[in-house]
Chain A
């Protein structure tokens, strides 16, 4: 058990150390050890270099009887007592012990230099394992692996026990990293919010490119205007990590408006504006979106050949298209703001490359949407101005005779006021027309409505009799219970 040290030298002196196979029991001291400042070993201390084998072995002291291993000689000695073997506990040597520091044997390592020696044996062993050893311990919850068992244990205690979650969805187990991220993330969020609230700025749109021509078109607008603002460049650079064609992806493109000019309801610009912060915020925090991307991308992954949002497809696993959009579904161009300063400057507002007006686009005539028509009808009804139009069409209203009204129906008509204000306009349109065209009409009630509903239970005379008589004002459908016996009824 005697321990020999070869070639140990002082730190300050010549650092010629060689590896030894020695064993070094740490001295037990009753006096509190003086600790040097980290990074600055005691210049008088003894530098010890141990071999890799020594550093890696866990149990250097082995009992010869039962082969049980111990990390310390003292422990082995105590164990030997149990075998009735001679044992000897070494006392701490009386002479002053020289402080020992350890260097890493791997040349090229930081701690190979005696001036960067570590003061603790355990420390150098751990360092050696971590840096130069094989990572044998793997965390079961995440993919991290460790060479030192205590590292691994410490990690698995906190792995999965998330503490902090940023708004963008990233999880942090440590407060400091969370705060750092938040600072960065919030900046992006605020920035996008500012962009959003500024007057009518054109927002960079992510457009799914489908054809080969698209990249060409994509390239042309961005270089021409002023250098794109931070946000789009962030998105481009971030996406480019995962996407081979960065220009394709988050490139902010401004495209011509569809023929929505006559459609008063078309506030797609607002749509874009609303979505803008979302895009930015999302792009900024790309790292964690892996699983979410897969949620996302999986839904919209497409085969490489099909025309689809390559953005999402390519960035995810190249799985076969799960949801190939039908070929007629090529996404079409997006809205362009014609008001206010454009994010990319006025040049964008030049006529776009014509191929963006895809052939998919409906016939070029200003087709007014059905929604718009309804709104218009409602408007006409409420203002009563539509009469001339309809009169011109030769429309005569529904009945020529006045309808009898019951008193409670007026309230009912009011009660029918639909939440959408134009709904009531439509009613009035009807009413309005009837009033215009049928002077005999007395009151403007919501015709037929009160009758149809309010008088449940008046099943006198069978539902159909009124129909035959022609005088019935009942709901044509009648009651669901009408049976065949009623069909033959006459009106009385």
Chain B
């Protein structure tokens, strides 16, 4: 998205290289903004938390505005103040601001791809697997979201598979054994006895799948139920449904937890009409391009699952402009950070890890990235419902009993502040009033 715009900025000057731009920015600092030595700066330090929070919001919006309009100097000045006031160890607003600040800065930096790459070259992009696993586990523990999602997923599967003797479950992101352990136990205690259960887990990291296989098989052996685990080491985009080896005669369940939105990134086209899809070989014209998400959903539909349960973020973080996305995600992540604030002490290292490695990365992706790089394309439940419906699925309303249990879970676990709303048969997990995640169940319409 390139826009030409003439701005009469008195403080700008003609520059010949990026570095000079930076230097001019520092030399001709706009006198409009307080300089370090002047008293307003000091007073900023003395702001009360509330005022500081408001100021941070203002700064964020201002900065984003500048970034969007290209006025780098102003953006830089705003960033400076933001860096001063925000802190990953401060109160909620400070933390949120810290990560958004970083994301905005990253966004600016990305317009100099060489610079960006050079700076990031020595950073270990491939964080070790155990750290990732740890952070995922922290997210599971600190938030009820995954717990509720697993609960609802399992109940939907149980209910759909009543009377079935052969059950095949496909997990599109097999990272948490907890979910399936619970299902195995539930199947074990159903009145008609356990079915012959097969679970296929898809993940790009082999170690995760190994670990999962180990846990699940151990449990199944303990309970003595016929069980099989098939790992599929593959990223979701490259997945070929043949690899899932769905057999005829078995009842199929598909579980997708926070995965589908990644597909929306794969076939974004910019306004120039060039396709930025992952396989850049094809440059299909916009009108004819089959969206990858649709083909994926179709592929799943082709397997005729008896039930498909989808957990997704329920926020519109896929707006086409940064400003839109910033506004929406400010609310969402403020809510998520608030959750943490009420649950975990500020000094907790674990909390910082979740904030930085999970949410921080999401924020960075939403704000700083574009095109196929921007994978965190969260959308509202309505849009997902439409999309899934178009792919040939019919909604299966979550049963009253499931919702009951989910609510009970939130109560019993002390997750107050959270609520579960029901929206046309789907469950929406909210923090106070802000919808965060949704869980919906679908069956194959033939």
Contacts and interface: CB of A to CB of B under 8 A. Distances in A.
A and B are interacting partners: yes
B9 A328 contact: no
Interface string A452-488: 1111111111011011111111111111111010011
Contacts of B158: 291-292, 295
B272 A467 contact: no
A468 B431 CA distance: 44
Interface of A: 141-143, 160, 162, 167-169, 171, 205-208, 258, 265-268, 270-272, 274-275, 278-279, 281-282, 290-292, 294-296, 298-300, 309, 311-312, 317, 319, 322-323, 325-326, 328-332, 334-335, 360, 362-363, 365, 367-371, 373-374, 376-377, 380, 386, 389-390, 393-404, 416, 418-420, 422-423, 426-427, 429-430, 433, 446-449, 451-461, 463-464, 466-482, 484, 487-488, 490-491
A373 B62 contact: no
Contacts of B327: 418, 423, 426-427
Contact of B151 (A167, A295, A488): A295
Nearest to B38: A394
A459 B70 CA distance: 15
Given A294-B182, A399-B74, 14 more contacts: A160-B163, A171-B191, A267-B432, A281-B404, A360-B343, A371-B335, A453-B320, A455-B3, A469-B14, A470-B21, A473-B5, A479-B270, A481-B270, A481-B274
Contact of B74 (A206, A398, A404): A398
Interface string B25-60: 000001011100000100110010111011101100
B253 to A, nearest CB: 14
Interface stretch (B137-145, B196-204, B229-237, B289-297): B137-145
A101 B162 CA distance: 47
Contacts of B187: 291
Interface in B224-277: 270-272, 274, 276
B132 interface: no
A263 B107 CA distance: 33
Contacts of B328: 418, 423
A160 to B, nearest CB: 6
Interface string B381-400: 00000000000000000011
A323 B350 CA distance: 16
Residue among A402, A404, A469 with most chain B CB within 10 A: A469
A268 B414 CA distance: 11
Contacts of B24: 470
Nearest to A203: B411
Contacts of B431: 371
A299 B150 contact: yes
B271 A370 contact: no
Nearest to B68: A448
B149 to A, nearest CB: 10
A362 B140 CA distance: 21
A171 B1 CA distance: 58
A270 B419 CA distance: 9
15 contacts: A141-B192, A160-B163, A169-B400, A266-B432, A271-B410, A279-B407, A326-B142, A370-B341, A393-B40, A404-B7, A453-B1, A470-B12, A470-B21, A476-B108, A477-B1
Nearest to A296: B405
A142 B192 contact: yes
Contact of A466 (B33, B70, B113, B271): B70
Given A370-B334, A396-B32, A448 B192 contact: no
B405 A448 contact: no
B189 A290 contact: yes
Given A274-B407, A473-B6, A479-B1, A398 B192 contact: no
Contacts, number: 430
Interface of A is mostly: loop
A162 B81 CA distance: 67
A478 B169 CA distance: 44
Contacts of A469: 12, 14-15
Contacts of A398: 62, 65-66, 71, 74, 78
A481 B272 contact: yes
A486 to B, nearest CB: 10
A403 B8 CA distance: 8
B346 A298 contact: no
Given A430-B61, A477-B110, A399 B408 contact: no
Contacts of A265: 432-433
Contact of B71 (A171, A399, A453, A457): A399
> 5 closest pairs, A vs B, by CB?
A473-B5, A331-B414, A470-B12, A456-B271, A448-B69
Contacts of B61: 426-427, 429-430
Contact of A403 (B69, B154, B188, B401): B69
B321 A452 contact: yes
A478 B2 contact: yes
Given A296-B409, A400-B30, A453-B321, A395 B55 contact: yes
A476 B111 contact: yes
Interface in B307-339: 316, 319-324, 327-328, 330-331, 334-335, 337-338
Contacts of A363: 346
Given A274-B419, A370-B53, A479-B2, A472 B7 contact: yes
Given A374-B331, A464-B111, A476-B108, A433 B58 contact: yes
Among A363, A394, A433, A452, residue most surrounded by chain B Cβ atoms (within 10 Å): A452
Contacts of A451: 3, 5, 68-69
B151 to A, nearest CB: 6
A476 B344 CA distance: 37
Contact of B407 (A171, A275, A360): A275
A480 B370 contact: yes
Given A430-B65, A470-B12, A482 B111 contact: yes
A105 B87 CA distance: 88
Nearest to A210: B414
Contacts of B162: 162
A370 B96 contact: yes
Given A298-B182, A430-B65, A467 B70 contact: yes
Interface string B153-180: 0110010001100000000000000110
Given A168-B401, A206-B408, A386-B54, A473 B65 contact: no
A183 to B, nearest CB: 18
Contact of B350 (A282, A328, A404, A471): A328
Interface string B341-364: 111111010100000000000000
A138 B433 CA distance: 53
Contacts of B319: 416
| From B190, B346, B370, B411, residue with most partner A Cβ within 10 Å | B411
B17 interface: yes
A480 B2 CA distance: 9
A439 to B, nearest CB: 13
Given A169-B401, A377-B58, A423-B328, A401 B9 contact: yes
B34 A394 contact: yes
Given A291-B158, A476-B111, A479-B270, A362 B341 contact: yes
Contact of B5 (A312, A331, A369, A474): A474
B323 A394 contact: no
A380 B91 CA distance: 21
A368 B96 contact: no
B272 A479 contact: yes
A274 B114 CA distance: 54
Given A275-B407, A298-B186, A474-B70, A141 B344 contact: no
